[in-house]
Amino acid sequence: MNVRVTGQVQTGNAIGFVQQRSAQLARVQQQVSSGLRVERPSDDPGAFPALSQFKAAAGRLDTFAQNAGDATATLNASVSALQDVNDLLVRARQIALEGADSAAAADPAAREALAVEVDGLLDQALRSANGRPDGKTVFAGTALDTPPFRVATTDAQGRPLTIAYDGAAERARTLTAPGQTVDTRYTGDAVFQRPGADVFGSLVALRDALRDPALDGPARAAAFNQRLGALDSARGAINDAMGEQASNLATLESITALIGDQKLYADTRTGELEGTDFAEAVVRMKELETALQAIFATTVQIVQPGILDFIR
């Protein structure tokens, strides 16, 4: 049985080859222009699952890196505030020593000047403890929008007597890895009002001792020794918190470095799997262009009409 291939069939086949090669060429050109070899599962069914996993891992690592960065900024702000309070407690200790001196004891104006300075230190301590460096409180634990401290009672002149804590009872924590958190926002009462180490109470007591005209002789010396002990205890609590937060910062530094290494690996593997091999793509593009030119040339010969086409 003779099967005759007509010009129409040949033309149809030629057009099919042209369309097929054109689609392949367009795909390679897209890979070159976008730099991406794999954009959908059909581009490389074997590589796409691994590519999806590395992209998901990179996304999670970006989140952890952002969390670690935010935690670092919060802790740095907290340590800075604690350092400020430590410095003012150092100054308060110097004032206590000056107030205990017999010359100051005999000079009411000098004692009042020292007491006024302590009032200022107390105000500074409250501002530092209620600070919002990123718009959220640092020392209110999980109560991010609540000022942790307020003046609860005042004396007849309106000066603070007692300070109340209004923050949360739990520290705020930041997730930096699966199942791993770092404490970032501490509870202010555990830092500034630790039993026996009350920053505000020690400053109020020092101020009141400086203004107390009844203190004299041995009673004055004993009172100021007690004030010095309270200030030292308050400083100890502040330094304990600073030490713990400095340790957290060191941990975050290590975590950030590890996240960076893992992110680099995930990005590298992603690039290897989905990226275009430009040298290979250019060679493939030339091959397809050559094939198309050959098909065009052949098609032209096929579709040229001859006398036999009309006779048939």
* Residue-wise pLDDT tens digits, 19-30: 655 665 556 566
Residue 143 clears pLDDT 80, i.e. is over it? yes
- 36 forms beta bridges with 275
Q: What is the mean pLDDT of the chain?
A: 85
The token pair at 127 is 């501002």
The stretch 285-309 carries a mean pLDDT of 60
Which runs of E-coded beta strand occur in 135-238? 149-154, 160-165, 172-177, 180-185, 193-194, 197-198
Candidates 3.40.50.300, 3.40.1210.10, 3.40.50.150, 1.20.1330.10; correct CATH number of 53-268? 1.20.1330.10
Q: For residue 134, what pLDDT band results from cuts at 50, 70 and 90?
A: very high
pTM of the model: 0.77
CA-CA distance, 270 to 36, in Å (whole number)?
10
Give me the residue spans of the domains in the chain. 53-268
CA-CA distance, 30 to 36, in Å (whole number)?
8
Cβ-Cβ contacts under 8 Å for 11 (sequence gap 6 or more): 299, 302, 303
Q: What is the pLDDT of residues 248-278, one digit of tens each?
A: 999 999 999 999 999 999 989 888 777 665 4
Q: What is the pLDDT of residues 174-210, one digit of tens each?
A: 999 898 999 999 999 999 999 999 999 999 999 999 9
Residue 159 clears pLDDT 90, i.e. is over it? yes
